[in-house]
Amino acid sequence: MVKILAIETSCDETSIAVVENGEKILSNIVLSQVKSHERFGGVVPEVASRHHIERINEVLALAMQDANLTYEEVDAIAVTAGPGLVGALLIGVQAGKSLAFALQKPLIAVNHMAGHIYANQLVEPLEFPLMSLVVSGGHTELVYMKDHLHFEIIGETRDDAVGEAYDKVGRVLGLNYPAGKEMDQLAHQGEDTYQFPRAMMEENHYDFSFSGLKSSVINTLHNQEQRGESVIKENVAASFQAAVVEVLVTKTMRALKEYPVKQLIIAGGVAANRGLREGLTEALEQLDDAPRLLMPPLSLCGDNAAMIGAVAYLQWQAQDFAASNVNAYPGWEIDQPRPS
């Protein structure tokens, strides 16, 4: 039994987990800073770093206590090394290095987006080949995997990430940051009355674009306000969500035709979206030879350290350990080797 202590501090959650064999969560403490960033309408990097420093020891103690383990029983330390906010990442990397050094355990540097994908492994073993729709605050990608730790980006957003579009439209509607969850709830109370644009639907590639949709929603709202018309937030949210889900589902289904896979998995904060989960489930029901759909529970869609521990187990098996000079890599793409 391999027990990995994993650390995640890439953005605004301070999280530490202990995961056994990459699949069983022994503990997973997630401390959200969202209240501190809310009034700024987004994550303030300096504030995030400071919170990580202030709280990381406490989160570590809780994670060890919950797992009911001693440090000697831990086999390796894993840490998110990128992508993310450089200052936030550095706190986790430094904590990981210090623990690995003090305990004389190997250190494993993990990619945050790989973590989102491997959150699914905490639910069910991954089977290859698979397709992953990765949708978070900073990324929107279709990632094809022919095996463990092989990531091929077959399509990605050319401008805004889906989560980013949700947050910006939500902000214009007067919602708190991050607005995705509330938009999702509003969407289920409204109707698609606006018919917002769906970008690049006919084009023969798997890239996405969400900035046109975002601008269209914002312009429509401004025009309505100028005309003194009242805005029904539920219908705006429903119309926006309908456009987003239609694009994501259509492109994903098209990708499945070219890349037959055993599993379709969704990953990242926006994977919690009810409309997306329902849309993909319904679309797969129409296919004769549909792959199995894996969706992490809502608690594992957002940032958490258990998902980092899940990837780290595969790196442990591959003996992919980091040297003590490992750094934070804010722009580390999932399909690239770890920068050095």
**Which region, judged by CB under 5 A, interacts with Zn ion, from 101-109, 124-132, 240-248, 301-309?**
301-309
Counting contacts by CB under 5 A, is residue 111 touching Zn ion? Answer: no
Amino acid at 266: I
Question: Considering only residues 22, 87, 106, 163, which one is a binding residue for ligand KG4 as defined by CB under 6 A?
Answer: 163
Give least dist CB 257 to ligand KG4, A.
26
Give least dist CB 262 to ligand KG4, A.
24
Counting contacts by CB under 6 A, is residue 304 touching ligand KG4? Answer: no
Counting contacts by CB under 5 A, is residue 184 touching Zn ion? Answer: no
> Which residues fall within 8 angstroms of residue 161, CB to CB, at 6 or more apart?
135, 136, 137, 138, 139, 140, 210
DSSP 281-298: HHHHHT-TTPPEEE---G
Give the DSSP letter of residue 208.
Answer: B
- How far apart, in whole angstroms, are the C-alpha atoms of residue 250 and residue 228? 36
Which is nearer to ligand KG4, 4 or 119 (by Cβ)?
Answer: 119
**Which region, judged by CB under 5 A, interacts with Zn ion, from 48-56, 122-130, 131-139, 194-202?**
131-139
77, 5 Cβ separation under 8 angstroms: yes
**Cross-strand pairs, 25:** 19
- How far apart, in whole angstroms, are the C-alpha atoms of residue 228 and residue 231? 9
**Cross-strand pairs, 109:** 79
Counting contacts by CB under 5 A, is residue 136 touching Zn ion? Answer: yes
Which is nearer to ligand KG4, 272 or 308 (by Cβ)?
Answer: 272
Give the DSSP letter of residue 338.
Answer: P
Q: Say if residue 270 is exposed, middle or buried (CB neighbours under 10 Å; 0-12, 13-18, 19+).
A: buried
- In this structure, the strands spanning 263-267 and 292-294 are parallel
Which is nearer to ligand KG4, 90 or 100 (by Cβ)?
Answer: 90
Give least dist CB 245 to ligand KG4, A.
10
Counting contacts by CB under 5 A, is residue 164 touching Zn ion? Answer: no
Binding mask 11-30 for ligand KG4 (x = CB under 6 A): x-------------------
Give least dist CB 47 to ligand KG4, A.
16
**Which region, judged by CB under 6 A, interacts with ligand KG4, from 177-185, 205-213, 232-240, 314-322?**
177-185
- Binding residues for Zn ion, rule: CB under 5 A, are 136, 303
